Amino acid sequence: MTPDEKSRFFGIYAATVCPMQGEDAAIDEAALAAHLAPLAKVDGLLGFLINGHAGENFLLSDDEKRRVVEIARNVVGDRLIVAGVNQEESRAAAAEAESAMAAGADAIMLFPPMSWALGHDREMVIRHHRIVDQATKAPLFLYQAPVGAGRMAYGPDVLEALAGLAHVVGVKEGSWETAAYEANRRLIKDVAPDVGVMASGDEHLLTCFMLGSEGSLVSLACIWPEPIVRLDAAVRAGDLAAARAAHETIYPLARAIYGAPPGYRATARLKACLKLLGRLADDRVRSPIERLPAPEIERLRAVLKEVGLL
């Protein structure tokens, strides 16, 4: 792919949730469309990460993930769609990626299999990505897992090899630690300067943007995209005062959703906030995740009031 073909994927994306309903937590298709529609009108938002971790991709069936992409394509117009792919077996990952592209995705993001938390080696990781890359020839985002996610995070030699795959356009750099972010960004830019390094870590977007980024695929933007767009624009314009102001605006909510233990509740917190704001009728999540206890709901309510959203 040419540098111009890759750079069209650089910008701010909202990583969206997947609304559910009923005792079986079935996908609420109408609520999903209603979740996406207003975000698709936000100036400066390039697109969407669908079926990411916030979208509970590890709990959805293959058919459900395809349907989520179809609904998104029907709703968001010409905004870009990056579809998460999360499978343990490589051929299944390739099939899911092909299905997502056929359903209307513009690119895919290949998540590391959960079993890799127990360990993996360089050739295993490269083989998995190469099978998907060659099967789809679709624009491909890599996912760098948090430093605290066991052995799922890729080492420098693995990142270097993956960045050189034919259709890689970017990396969602989710180390959640700024020193690791900087080291990985420097490495990727040395070996593949046309590949975008997309900031993650909603609590420290300012730091990542200041170190350098080509955008972000970020779930806080499914609640509050405007200040994230402002933050990115301010950093690019060299306006530190405006960037710090945007950071101060979003920090309390980012901290409440992502910084409070246990971290696995982040998706439930996103949905609870959307319900408190009247944008989601049902905040249920799929088992084994559970709805938030009442005290945590009240804590989120207080933070939403603090930042002026509620």
Averaged pLDDT for residues 29-49: 98
Averaged pLDDT for residues 123-141: 96
Query: Given a cut of 90, is residue 170 above it in pLDDT?
Result: yes
Output 102 or 150, whichever has higher pLDDT: 102
Q: Is residue 46 left, alpha or beta, with left meaning phi > 0 and alpha meaning psi from -120 to 50? A: alpha
Q: What is the reported pLDDT for 149?
A: 82
| pLDDT tens-digit map of 83-96 | 999 999 999 999 99
Q: What is the reported pLDDT for 200?
A: 84
List the domains of the chain with CATH numbers. 3-238 (3.20.20.70)
C-alpha–C-alpha distance, residues 237 and 247, integer Å: 15
Nearest to 54 by CA among 255, 179, 223: 223
Q: What is the reported pLDDT for 69?
A: 98
Q: What is the reported pLDDT for 151?
A: 85
Let me know if 122 is exposed, middle or buried by CB neighbors in 10 A (0-12, 13-18, 19+).
middle
Q: What is the reported pLDDT for 148?
A: 83
Give the percent of the chain with pLDDT over 70.
100
CA atoms within 13 A on the CB side of 160: 9
Residues with Cβ within 8 Å of residue 272, at least 6 apart in sequence: 283, 291, 292, 296, 297, 300
Q: What is the reported pLDDT for 202?
A: 83
Give the percent of the chain with pLDDT over 90.
93
3-state class (DSSP) for residue 163: helix
Q: What is the reported pLDDT for 58?
A: 93
Q: pTM score, two decimals? A: 0.96
Q: Which of 27-36, 89-98, 145-154 has the lowest mean pLDDT?
A: 145-154
Given a contact cutoff of 8 angstroms between Cβ atoms, the answer to whether 176 and 218 are in contact is: no
| pLDDT tens-digit map of 247-260 | 999 999 999 999 98
Given a contact cutoff of 8 angstroms between Cβ atoms, the answer to whether 156 and 189 are in contact is: no
User: In which band, very low, low, confident or very high, does the pLDDT at 103 lie, cut at 50, 70 and 90?
Assistant: very high
